[in-house]
Amino acid sequence: MQAASFDNYAQQYDDHFTFSPVGLMQRKAVYRNLLPLLNSESNVLEINCGTGYDALEIGKYVQHVLATDASTKMVEQCKVKSTSAANLSFKVALIQDL
């Protein structure tokens, strides 16, 4: 999917994927394997962060998260969710530019 497609999908993404059974199962597996590797001194780069749900969760365990996505609208959703999380930054960026 192109960034423009995700721009059009950003408002519905959490309802359709983030909180879907598949999305929840994938997230649980990632957290089970990733979180034990992190600590309060870790800095994390998240690529293709979507609406920022994982960045918010990972941010609870690390010093800083820079979360990126090619979709401007997805990054806008991230910023709305993260107003109280000082250790999160979001940036519109194509994966090949990182």
pLDDT by residue (tens digit) across 10-50?
889 999 999 999 999 999 999 999 999 999 999 999 999 99
| 98, 31 Cβ separation under 8 angstroms | no
What does the pLDDT read at residue 55?
Answer: 96
Assess whether pLDDT exceeds 90 at residue 8. Answer: no
How confident is the model over 44-75, as pLDDT tens digits? Answer: 999 999 999 999 999 999 999 999 999 999 99
